[in-house]
């Protein structure tokens, strides 16, 4: 463990400070929230969690920042609504979810509308208008659709609206996988030329092991030149209940490689986004590697 810590700890403190300041000063932010940050143990949308996320986003809005929210939770909320206990009509076990792609696609359409209803109501408490955008990877790869996507978001941001983006699961041709939105949020961050990507999850950042199983696992405060060591640790520690940290790390790394800071932090952390905007050490900070090599 000592050597692991040494391997992941060797970062220039000035570069970390600069990245933390850049993250705090970001004018335009993509915030990504995962299913576990929005649903309860019965896979039902958890209004307390969702309201907390919305309050955190509003902390950034109050600071004058533009925020784009990438939200998962459609399939999860669909399972909570129609699965066993929600409705006898659908034979989906809430514990296991559904592995059947057709079912997951259909469940997403039920959950997505619920998700937006709750977001609309929750943001309404602050008179904050929201918009729904559903995209697929193919949309962002096709130049004309990419342009339409970016110009729609630009217009919404100019109007002061918070766009809520999710993958268009009903028509996505690739398999619907956990982690898709980690990559989608990184692509959206690059496409929209944002200044910061924040990935919120149910652990407090990237650890040297699986924090849910290994009490010795310690939080990695910053990732930069030590990326390969971190990647290896995360690869080793990934299990299904820890699923998704790898794609979060990859998404954050993509952002950092293109010159923007990224943070992976706990959605349950008090005032999580406000802390980042105040420059307080929060979660795991990905130091822009482009910035590091230029200086």
Residues that bind ligand GLU (CB under 6 A): 34-35, 72-76, 108, 166-167, 169, 178-182
Please list, residue by residue across 109-126, b when 16 or more beta carbons sit within 10 angstroms of its beta carbon and e when fewer do: bbbbebbbebbeebbeee
Question: CB of residue 28 vs ligand GLU: minimum separation in angstroms?
Answer: 22
Question: CB of residue 54 vs ligand GLU: minimum separation in angstroms?
Answer: 17
Output the CA torsion sign for 104, 118, 186, 221. Answer: negative
Name the residue nearer to ligand GLU (CB basis): 14 or 175.
Answer: 175
Nearest in space to 242 (alpha carbons), one of 209, 264, 266 = 209
Beta carbons of 237 and 266 less than 8 angstroms apart: no
Question: CB of residue 255 vs ligand GLU: minimum separation in angstroms?
Answer: 16
Name the residue nearer to ligand GLU (CB basis): 169 or 254.
Answer: 169
Question: CB of residue 166 vs ligand GLU: minimum separation in angstroms?
Answer: 5
How is residue 283 written in tokens? 């979660």
Helix (H) or strand (E) holding 208: none
Name the residue nearer to ligand GLU (CB basis): 224 or 251.
Answer: 251
Name the residue nearer to ligand GLU (CB basis): 76 or 283.
Answer: 76
Nearest in space to 19 (alpha carbons), one of 287, 220, 223 = 287
From CA 227, how far away is CA 207, in angstroms rounded? Answer: 13
Name the residue nearer to ligand GLU (CB basis): 74 or 192.
Answer: 74
Name the residue nearer to ligand GLU (CB basis): 7 or 183.
Answer: 183
Angle at 127 (CA atoms; ends 121, 129), nearest 5 degrees:
75
Name the residue nearer to ligand GLU (CB basis): 65 or 118.
Answer: 118
Name the residue nearer to ligand GLU (CB basis): 234 or 277.
Answer: 234
Beta carbons of 78 and 39 less than 8 angstroms apart: no
Beta carbons of 80 and 110 less than 8 angstroms apart: no
Beta carbons of 284 and 217 less than 8 angstroms apart: no
From CA 105, how far away is CA 90, in angstroms rounded? Answer: 14
Question: CB of residue 32 vs ligand GLU: minimum separation in angstroms?
Answer: 9
Question: CB of residue 167 vs ligand GLU: minimum separation in angstroms?
Answer: 4
Q: What are the C-alpha distances in Å from 69 to residues 31, 39, 166, 188, 231?
A: 5, 16, 9, 10, 26
How is residue 30 written in tokens? 């993509």
Question: CB of residue 221 vs ligand GLU: minimum separation in angstroms?
Answer: 25
């Amino acid at each position: 463990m000592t050597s692991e810590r040494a391997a992941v700890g060797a970062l220039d403190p000035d570069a970390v400070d600069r990245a933390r300041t850049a993250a705090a000063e970001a004018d335009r932010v993509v915030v990504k929230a995962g299913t576990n940050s929005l649903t309860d143990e019965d896979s039902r949308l958890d209004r307390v969690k969702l309201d907390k996320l919305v309050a955190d986003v509003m902390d950034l809005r109050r600071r004058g920042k533009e925020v784009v929210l990438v939200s998962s939770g459609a399939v999860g909320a669909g399972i909570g609504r129609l699965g066993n206990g929600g409705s006898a009509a659908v034979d989906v076990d809430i514990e296991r979810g559904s592995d059947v792609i057709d079912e997951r696609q259909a469940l997403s359409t039920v959950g997505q509308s619920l998700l937006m209803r709750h977001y609309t109501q929750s943001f309404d408490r602050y008179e904050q208008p929201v918009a729904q955008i559903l995209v697929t990877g193919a949309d962002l790869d096709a130049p004309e659709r990419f342009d339409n996507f970016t110009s729609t978001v630009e217009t919404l941001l100019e109007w002061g609206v918070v766009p809520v983006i999710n993958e268009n699961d009903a028509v996505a041709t690739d398999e619907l996988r956990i982690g898709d939105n980690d990559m989608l949020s990184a692509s959206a961050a690059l496409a929209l030329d944002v200044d910061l990507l924040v990935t919120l999850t149910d652990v407090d950042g990237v650890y040297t092991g699986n924090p849910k199983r290994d009490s010795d696992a310690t939080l990695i405060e910053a990732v930069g030149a030590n990326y390969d060591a971190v990647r290896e640790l995360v690869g080793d520690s990934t299990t299904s209940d820890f699923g998704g940290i790898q794609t979060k790390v990859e998404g954050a790394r993509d952002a950092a490689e293109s010159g923007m800071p990224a943070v992976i932090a706990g959605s349950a952390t008090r005032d999580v986004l406000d802390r980042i905007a105040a420059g307080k050490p929060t979660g795991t900070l990905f130091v822009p590697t482009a910035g590091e090599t230029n200086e």
